[in-house]
Structures are given as structure tokens and as C-alpha cells.
A and B are shown apart, each in its own frame.
Chain A
Amino acid sequence: MEFFLQQLVNGLTLGGVYALIALGYSMVYGILKLLNFAHGDVYMVGAFAGYAVLVAFGGPTDPRIPVVVLIFAMFLAGMAASGILGVVIERFAYRPLRNAPRIAPLISAVGVSFFLQNAALLVAGARFRSYGTAKMVDPSTGLQWGPLRISIIRIVVILSAVALMVVLHLLVKRTKLGKAMRATAYDREAAAMMGIDVDRVIVATFLIGSVLAGAAGVMVGLVFSRVFHFMGFIAGLKGFTAAVIGGIGSIPGAMMGGLLIGLAEAFSAGYISSTFQNLIVFGLLIAFLLIRPRGIFGVPEPVKV
């Protein structure tokens, strides 16, 4: 039973991270019908930005500012760096191709992905970096319930993922920008005719999606502590899988999909073997594409004449 609960916690942590990545995928797809394969690498850059702040303030063993402030600053840096990067990518890699055939921006996305990976390799080198969270925050603090242990950093990660998703939900449902985003996603041309500045909405979408990915990058650094140039690849694929399973284009779908993927991964690693976890995750993707291609929350696309 404890083992089961422990895997549940592992799955929730992982699921929160995947959900944040999936949101960026899904939002961009919703508006541009573009699979942004560089999204995973935006997340990687966020993780590196968090690391840079950590090092700038003295590293995990001897930080010059209080740990809480430091972690907050790392989140801010990761989100800012990723957000700016997302906007820049949109401006230079996707906007010029907006009216090109749909395969063109997809290829551009893969190109940006390789560019970011190799740029990170060039700048940061091939070594794995570690946030060294265990040194900043005593891993034995947190919730202890029998043999079940949830470290404080995990609680922080799960709660901040939830908080970010709530903020996003309110933003999309309650603000003018959110309304513009929904309108653009529904019909870009009609939205433009109604006086919505579509370019601004697209930039805002990339900014928000990338900020969430940056937060996810810092979270992964904090909990699983391995940051390297290639980390965005598989995480990006998982985020994409989560977005498709939840129903690509749907925001609650991305959250559900992320959670589902996280739980599937944790339980298959716990009860079968980590060797099979990718098999199960991508098996789920294939099963969904075959049986319910619009995902859990997706709506079938209206036929446009």
C-alpha cells in the first residue's frame, strides 16, 4: 500500500511537469495548428536558466541569499528565459512560414529543436548539471506518513504546477486576452475580421506556453536534478503525447493528459520496470490515435467548406 501511494506521489510530480509542457504544445496547436517540436528544448533552456541563477548566487552548497528566495528567483529566470525564447522562435522560425504549406513550419520546428540542442551543447558542454537540491533543502523535511515520504520540494513542485494551471485557466476564461485567444483558436480569419490583433494573440500564446515550459524545466531540475542539452527531447515527446491524449488544442485536456502520462509512467516503472515505461507511454499514444484520435477532451474538428 505504501509502495502504491509512493508511486502515486511520483506520478503526480511527473504528471504536473508533463502537464505544463503539454499545455504549451496544446495552446500553440489550438491557435496555429502547428506542432511545435522545439517546445521540449524551450523547456531545456528554462532548466539551464534556473541553473545559471543558482550558480550566480553561489551554488547549492553556499547560496548568498535565502533558499526560498533563491528557488523563487530560479523559477522567475527559467520562466523569463523560456518565455523570451518562445517569442523569438515564433518571430523568426514560424511567422515567415505562416502561410506556407503545413509541413514547412513542422520542419522549421524540428530544425529549431536541433539548433537549440546543439547551441546548449556548445555553450554548456556535454556534462550533466545538477541543481543539488538535497543540499539546499533537507530532503527529510516534508510530509511523513508511516513509510510514505513526500519531500517538501515535491510538495512545492506539485502545488506550483497546480497554481500555474489555475492562473492559466482564469486567464483564458476571464480576461480579454483569453477571449481573444479562444476566438483565434476557433477561427483565425473571422477573429481577424472582428478586429482582434491575431499576431499579438499568437505572440501571447507562445509567451505563455513557453513560460510554463520554463517553469517545468526548473521543477525537473529541482526534483530529478539532471540538466543537460538533450533533456528536452524525450520530455518534449512526452508532453506532446500528453497533449494528444488529452485532446490537442484543449487546455483541460493537456492537464489531464499530462497527469495520465505521469501516472502511467510512475506505475509502469514501479510495478513492471522502467525499461517498459516508454513502451507503455507511447503505446497509449498509439492506442489513442487509433481509437479516439481527438483525445479525451478534444472536439471533432468541424468540416470547413
Chain B
Amino acid sequence: MRKTKWLRLIAVTAVLGLVTAACGGGGGDAAGDGEGASASADGVLKIGTLLPVTGDLAFLGPPEVAGARLAVQDINAAGGVLGKDVILIEGDSGDTNQDIANPEVDRLLAEGVDAIIGAASSAVSKLVIDKITGANVIQFSPANTSPDFTTYPDNGLYFRTAPSDLLQGKVLADQVAKQGNETAAVIFRQESYGQGLAQAFKENFEALGGTVDPFIPYAVDTENFDAEVDQIVEADPDAIVVIGFAESANILTTMHERGIGPTSGKNVWGVDGNIGGIGKELSDPSIIAGMRGTEPSVNLKQISDFTARLDQAYEGGVGGVYAYGAETYDAIVIVALAAEIAGTDDPVKVAAEINGVTKDGEKCTSFAECKALIEEGKNIDYDGLGGPYEFVDAGEPAAASFRIATYDGGDTPNPDLDEYVFAGS
């Protein structure tokens, strides 16, 4: 009998240990090691990145990583910040299934960064926001769209160039309704991003007279989507909205197999978490020909010089996926300009200037141009590659341009079919 108990004990502790090791994260020890190292006003602006190199958002990571590199390159070419070169330290955000973000943030804080650019995933940002802002360091996300961050208690240190999904939800609902759909199924990741966007879509779509059924959350580590897709097959809606990251490829494949894919007469919609790069995740992108989706983006044709540079700044190129590249670039430029105005790299003082950089002043569109104006003692309004921004007090744009992308058989959306709408709250 002793042996059975022994086995039981080993089994339970081993399983619990592995599960917690994998799902860990959660709270961080904000105080501890932070203080001395991180809030260093040493005169050198150090920027850390926390962008997806691995995990379920890695397929949208390259343009963001490239955007960060280009920004630092351009800033340093224009003389740097406070007379010194900006230092870029790259980090990987991983995803919520593996706790990579927490140790990466620890590493960046230990290296004394003044601002961390990231994460891309709202759920990952939530894992580390208390740790970063608690250490008096700026967190600036180029791609978080969860509505939760608008009111999150962040000591005034969290910013984002991406608009809240309250806007994307509205744009998406408008587009789905405009297409003539009366009923829509929504299948979404059950975390802060998926839930926020799904809810925003549902409210707006119902306000337009549509019906949402079924409304299916799925766990982020779901491996197969048979049951979810079966529910959609049963309900037989006009449109299907897929809110997810890389696992959307799985959902779309299963939908195709069950005869409710974009090529079988259903109006299938994607969102910023999948639409830009999901075609490349499918071994056969022709199964999503006809799929459309929304993502916050300025007209990519207007910034074609920049998107060409993004391709060069990433080993192997970003391959036609440009999501949030401009937003990442702008986030770093905004921090750099705020540091110039504050006259220090002390994160708390820099943060106090960030909202002002994006509004109310003489317009300028590049770091060099804005820096010249600051040196003349003028108040500036940086209009970036990714939009005019005009941050509200919560440190985020209240209005943004959205791209409506369409697949027509290729592995990226066909740029000739792009439409753009502007939405504000």
C-alpha cells in the first residue's frame, strides 16, 4: 500500500508542477529587483522590445521587429536622443501558453531599459504590465487592442499606438452588416483580446439589427476545433467571424473540411490577429479565397517606401505582412521625442510628455523634423507613418484608420482589393 501512495504523490506533484510551470506567469513581483537598475536616468535612452518571436502570434511578429529596428536606425541617423545613440535590446514575448514574457521582462529591466515596446498580444501585456509599470518603466504597445487597457491602473506609464477594439468591433460589425448578413457566428480566443473584440462586435452587430449565434469562446491552448465548427455547421449562419491568432489556420481548415469555409459560400471574416498573415500559415491558401478581415492600418500604398524598408530590415523579409510595423516604428519615435522634450531618459518624466508629442502643436512627420522643431523651442504634433494618433489622456488614439483586407487565392490579401475606413469614438 505504501507504494501506491508514493505513486499517487509523485504523479500529482509532477502533473501540478508541469502545469504550473507551463501556465505560470500571472502576478509578477513588481518591487524587488526593479528600482535601482531600471529607472536609471543615465542619459542614454534604452529601448527594450517584447515582441512575438515564438508562440501563436509569431507569424505576425516580423514587421513589428523590423519596425523597431528601423526606428532606432532612423533616430540614431538623425543624431540620437540627448546627443547619444538610442540602444535597442530585443526580447521575445512568447505567448500565454509558455511563460517567456516574464523572464524576458526581468532581463530587460535588469539591463536598465527606459521603455519596453510590446507586447503584441493583449493577454501577454497583461501578464507583465504590473511588473513593468511597477518598476517605473514605460510600456508602449504597438498592437494591443483590448479595451481593458483604456482604464487599467498603469501609473500613467502604459501607452499604445493601436486603437481599442471598441473601434475595430464597430468597423467589423458595419462591414459584416453591409455585406448583407443577418446572422453571424463568432468564434474567439477566450482571453482579453478575443473576448474584448468579440463582445464589441456582438454589441455593434446587434445594434445594427443582426443576430449573433453561436457565440463560441475557445481556450487558447485548444488543439482541435471539431466541436466548435460542428456548432457553427448546426447553426448555419450567414457569416462567420474568426477572432484568433495562428490557430485560426486550424479553425479555417476544419471549416473548409466541414463545408462552411470561405470557398463554400459562407462569408468568413477575420480580424487583426489573423488576417494579415494567416494565408501563409495554411499549406493551401486557396481554401480561404474570399475571406475578408479588418485590421487597424493606414493605407499601405501611402507608406510603400516604409513597407519596402521593413522587408529589408528583417532577415528573409517580412513577406508581404506589414501588420503593426508602422505602429511599432511610431511608438519608438514618440518615446524618443518625448525624451528629447523632457531632457532626460527618466521614464516617469518621459511618460509625462508622450501624449503631448502626438497632438497640439506644429505638425511634423519624422524624428529628424520633429527634433529640429523641439530644438527651436516649439511645441510639436508628431503625425506618424501609422496615423495622426492624437493621444487621449489614457495614452491611446481615439480614432484610427482601418484596412479591410481580402484574400483572393494568394497567401497574403490582395492589396488591390484593399479598402480603408476611418473610425473614431
Q: Using a CB–CB distance below 8 Å, which chain A residues touch chain B? A: 3, 6-7, 10, 13-14, 35, 37, 59-61, 102-103, 106, 110, 121, 126-128, 130-132, 134-135, 139-140, 147, 149, 151, 220, 223-226, 230-231, 233-235, 237, 240-241, 244, 248, 266, 269-270, 273-275, 277-278, 282, 285-286, 289, 293-294, 300-301, 303
Instruction: Check B223–A127 contact: CB distance below 8 A.
Output: no
Interface residue B115 (Cβ < 8 Å from any Cβ of A): no
Instruction: Check B283–A131 contact: CB distance below 8 A.
Output: yes
Instruction: Check B228–A269 contact: CB distance below 8 A.
Output: yes
18 A-B Cβ contacts within 8 A?
A: A6-B226, A60-B283, A224-B224, A226-B249, A230-B97, A234-B223, A235-B223, A237-B19, A244-B11, A248-B7, A266-B226, A274-B217, A274-B222, A275-B217, A277-B219, A289-B11, A293-B4, A293-B7
Question: A residues within 8 A CB of B250?
Answer: 224-226
Q: Give residues 168-218 of B contacting A (CB, 8 Å).
A: 190, 216-218
Q: Which one of B8, B11, B234, B257 contacts A151 once the chains associate, using CB atoms below 8 Å? A: B257
Question: A residues within 8 A CB of B7?
Answer: 248, 293
Question: B residues within 8 A CB of A234?
Answer: 221, 223
Interface residue B247 (Cβ < 8 Å from any Cβ of A): yes
A126-B55, A226-B223, A301-B3 known; A37 vs B14 contact (CB < 8 Å): yes
Interface residue B332 (Cβ < 8 Å from any Cβ of A): no
Instruction: Check B227–A102 contact: CB distance below 8 A.
Output: no
Interface residue B358 (Cβ < 8 Å from any Cβ of A): no
**Chain A minimum-CB-distance residue to B223:** A224
Interface residue B238 (Cβ < 8 Å from any Cβ of A): no
Question: A residues within 8 A CB of B231?
Answer: 3, 270
Instruction: Check B284–A61 contact: CB distance below 8 A.
Output: yes
B265-285 to A contact mask, C-beta < 8 Å, 1/0: 000000000000000011110
Return A235 CB to nearest CB of chain B, in Å: 8
A130-B281, A266-B227, A301-B4 known; A35 vs B257 contact (CB < 8 Å): no
Instruction: Check A135–B11 contact: CB distance below 8 A.
Output: no
Instruction: Check A226–B247 contact: CB distance below 8 A.
Output: yes
Return A133 CB to nearest CB of chain B, in Å: 8
Question: B residues within 8 A CB of A225?
Answer: 249-250, 253, 283
How many residues in B have their beta carbons less than 8 Å from beta carbons of A? 52
Return B418 CB to nearest CB of chain A, in Å: 25
Please list the 4 inter-chain residue pairs (A to B) with the smallest Cβ-Cβ separation, ordered nearest first. Answer: A132-B283, A126-B54, A269-B227, A139-B257
**Chain B minimum-CB-distance residue to A2:** B234
Q: Which one of B55, B59, B227, B259 contacts A274 once the chains associate, using CB atoms below 8 Å? A: B227
Distance, CA A139 to CA B256, complexed state (A): 8
Return A276 CB to nearest CB of chain B, in Å: 8
Distance, CA A59 to CA B283, complexed state (A): 9
Q: Give residues 339-375 of B contacting A (CB, 8 Å).
A: none
Return B104 CB to nearest CB of chain A, in Å: 14
Question: A residues within 8 A CB of B19?
Answer: 237, 282
Return A273 CB to nearest CB of chain B, in Å: 6
Distance, CA A262 to CA B239, complexed state (A): 30
Instruction: Check B283–A6 contact: CB distance below 8 A.
Output: no
A269-B228, A275-B218, A294-B4 known; A134 vs B257 contact (CB < 8 Å): yes
Instruction: Check A60–B4 contact: CB distance below 8 A.
Output: no
Instruction: Check B12–A289 contact: CB distance below 8 A.
Output: yes
Q: A14-B224, A139-B256, A275-B219 are in contact. List 5 more A-B contacts (CB 8 A).
A: A60-B283, A128-B246, A223-B224, A273-B218, A278-B219
A35-B11, A134-B257, A139-B256 known; A10 vs B234 contact (CB < 8 Å): no
Interface residue B37 (Cβ < 8 Å from any Cβ of A): no
Instruction: Check B18–A237 contact: CB distance below 8 A.
Output: yes
**Chain B minimum-CB-distance residue to A6:** B230
Distance, CA A10 to CA B223, complexed state (A): 13
Instruction: Check B224–A230 contact: CB distance below 8 A.
Output: no
Instruction: Check B281–A128 contact: CB distance below 8 A.
Output: yes
Instruction: Check A35–B10 contact: CB distance below 8 A.
Output: yes
Q: Which one of A10, A128, A275 contacts B249 once the chains associate, using CB atoms below 8 Å? A: A128
Instruction: Check B257–A132 contact: CB distance below 8 A.
Output: no
Instruction: Check A293–B8 contact: CB distance below 8 A.
Output: yes
Distance, CA A277 to CA B18, complexed state (A): 18
Interface residue B53 (Cβ < 8 Å from any Cβ of A): yes
Instruction: Check A7–B257 contact: CB distance below 8 A.
Output: no
**Chain B minimum-CB-distance residue to A269:** B227
Max count, chain A CB within 10 A of own CB: residue among B15, B58, B222, B257: B257
Question: B residues within 8 A CB of A269?
Answer: 222, 226-228
Instruction: Check B259–A140 contact: CB distance below 8 A.
Output: yes
Question: B residues within 8 A CB of A248?
Answer: 7
Return B7 CB to nearest CB of chain A, in Å: 8
Q: Give residues 1-42 of B contacting A (CB, 8 Å).
A: 1, 3-4, 7-8, 10-12, 14-15, 18-19, 22
Question: A residues within 8 A CB of B226?
Answer: 6-7, 10, 13, 266, 269
Distance, CA A276 to CA B108, complexed state (A): 35
Q: Which one of B14, B258, B259, B282 contacts A35 once the chains associate, using CB atoms below 8 Å? A: B14
B47-65 to A contact mask, C-beta < 8 Å, 1/0: 0000001111011000000
Distance, CA A234 to CA B22, complexed state (A): 10
Instruction: Check A7–B227 contact: CB distance below 8 A.
Output: yes
**Chain B minimum-CB-distance residue to A223:** B224
Return A48 CB to nearest CB of chain B, in Å: 15
Interface residue B76 (Cβ < 8 Å from any Cβ of A): no
Distance, CA A170 to CA B233, complexed state (A): 41
Distance, CA A6 to CA B225, complexed state (A): 12
Interface residue B98 (Cβ < 8 Å from any Cβ of A): yes
Question: A residues within 8 A CB of B218?
Answer: 273-275
Max count, chain A CB within 10 A of own CB: residue among B7, B53, B97, B227: B227
Instruction: Check B246–A300 contact: CB distance below 8 A.
Output: no
Question: B residues within 8 A CB of A294?
Answer: 4
